[in-house]
Amino acid sequence: MSDTVTIIDNRTGKQVECPVIKGTYGPPVIDTNALYKELGMFTFDPGYASTASCRSAITYLDGEQGILQYRGYPIEQLAEHSNFLEVCYLLINGELPNKVQLDDWENSIKLYGMTHEHLSRFYNGYRYDAHPMSIMAGVVGAVASYYHDVTDIWDADSRLMTAKRVIGKIPSIASRCYRYEAGFPFVYPDNSRGYIENFMNMMFSRPSEKYQPSAIAIRALDLLFILHADHEQNASTSTVRMAGSAETNPFACIAAGIATLWGKAHGGANEAVILMLEEIAEPKNIQKFVNRAKDKNDPFRLMGFGHRVYKNHDPRATIIRQACHDLLDEMHLNLPMFEIAMELERIALEDDYFIERKLYPNVDFYSGLIYQALGIPSNMFTVMFTLARSAGWIAQWIELMEDKEFRIARPRQIYIGSEKRDFVPMDQRA
């Protein structure tokens, strides 16, 4: 039995043998490259629900089983035993670092923590109340101008240098989005602190007093960044790859990913979840919102629920729910919204509408509650997602640039417009 699929055009009887590609895991894939040449036909898959865009060795997820692995390591094990910087190394280099490699990696990332002093002027061009994701997209795009002439996208060392710059500089850029709007002076990186603690210091410290975040808070943020670091070919990662396929500047690719992640159907959902929970306000209002989410005539969707791939529990949501519970206990915090979130989850998961459509809480459902407990304002939640996912984006960009099947991404379409017609002079128009 050959490893092919035969596609037959029943209108003409013409057929084409398409190779079947099998990966390490996951469904077999039909290579339809020959389809247009042999049958003069395209495939049609709006939203790319069943289209593989590339071969990748970085992240594997199984939506039916609720499995997520970075370079083969289960997310549950990385969440328990690793830290975000080590996960960045793993995503980019493909293997866990030994002690020497990890020390070198951490020290080299610190070397890239500063940004050009002129970059701080870019923030002043934003309205005082600009959404931080608007600032992130603009400022990260501006970073491209500082390294454009020294970045060789076809050189491995230059790509690794770019990865270190992205991972090193994004925390400083992100913290300044918050401080610009809050009216606080920008804080420079402090390399005597660890990566997460350094970021928290740039976010929350005040010139007038010493700042030391709790170990609990540092660990909670580190865990969230691990869980958000990569997620195979999601919308923002696919955007980064699409931009990268045009051989554009990698910082411009990351800026395009940031713009995509901002959408509330994607990374913007964590902020939208908190706004929804605030609107629900009390458990007695939950059913009204669940009914709205089920009403086809109401555009409202239950934020933090559903996923294109996970048709079982999002393993990240399971880990975050527990972490949220532990953090609130450890911090002796009583967040009424956590109770509302758990009650909303219970009600939704018992409702046939959600059961039939396999809609479960996703990574964004509980993450905002942890960010809130850490004192991060809701309009900065997607910036947190950006900081973490920039590691996955740059790892996927590197893999794209090394891909022997590299070519510019250029999807086709079904044209449904007017047939050919002649120009109509003005005096003959209706």
Q: Which is nearer to ligand SDX, 176 or 307 (CB)?
A: 307
As measured in angstroms, the least distance from the Cβ of 225 to ligand SDX is 12
* CA 149 vs CA 154, 156, 158, 402: distances in Å: 13, 16, 11, 20
Q: What is the DSSP letter of 208?
A: T
Q: Which is nearer to ligand SDX, 240 or 302 (CB)?
A: 302
SS3 68: strand
Q: Which is nearer to ligand SDX, 23 or 125 (CB)?
A: 23
Strand partners, 61: 68
- Apex CA 267: angle with CA 48 and CA 308, to 5°? 30
Catalytic one among 45, 307, 326, 351? 307
CA distance 321 to 93: 30
As measured in angstroms, the least distance from the Cβ of 245 to ligand SDX is 19
CA distance 380 to 376: 7
In what side-by-side order are the strands of the sheet with 73-74?
59-62, 67-70, 73-74
**Which H or E run contains 6?**
strand 4-8
Residue written as tokens 């490259």? 33
- Count of Cβ atoms closer than 10 Å to residue 111 Cβ: 11
Q: Which is nearer to ligand SDX, 84 or 105 (CB)?
A: 84
CA distance 394 to 151: 14
As measured in angstroms, the least distance from the Cβ of 356 to ligand SDX is 8
Q: Could you list the residues that contact ligand SDX (CB under 6 A)? A: 47, 231, 234, 265-267, 269, 293, 301-309, 357, 359, 362-364
CA distance 16 to 161: 44
As measured in angstroms, the least distance from the Cβ of 128 to ligand SDX is 29
CA distance 280 to 283: 7
- Apex CA 405: angle with CA 137 and CA 61, to 5°? 65
Q: Do residues 307 and 63 lie in contact, with contact meaning Cβ atoms separated by under 8 Å?
A: yes
Beta-carbon-side half-sphere exposure of residue 258 (alpha carbons within 13 Å):
31
As measured in angstroms, the least distance from the Cβ of 66 to ligand SDX is 12
Catalytic one among 364, 403, 422, 427? 364
Q: Do residues 287 and 347 lie in contact, with contact meaning Cβ atoms separated by under 8 Å?
A: yes
As measured in angstroms, the least distance from the Cβ of 242 to ligand SDX is 15
Q: Which is nearer to ligand SDX, 301 or 325 (CB)?
A: 301
Q: Which is nearer to ligand SDX, 356 or 419 (CB)?
A: 356
As measured in angstroms, the least distance from the Cβ of 238 to ligand SDX is 9
Check if 307 is active-site. Answer: yes
Check if 116 is active-site. Answer: no
Q: Which is nearer to ligand SDX, 131 or 231 (CB)?
A: 231
As measured in angstroms, the least distance from the Cβ of 386 to ligand SDX is 11
Buried b (16+ CB within 10 A) or exposed e, 394-416: bbbbbbbbeeeeeeeeeeeeeee
Q: Which is nearer to ligand SDX, 204 or 305 (CB)?
A: 305
Q: Do residues 349 and 289 lie in contact, with contact meaning Cβ atoms separated by under 8 Å?
A: no
Residue written as tokens 């071969």? 55
Amino acid at residue number 64: E
* CA 59 vs CA 269, 363, 383, 401: distances in Å: 22, 16, 22, 17
Catalytically active residues, by annotation:
307, 364
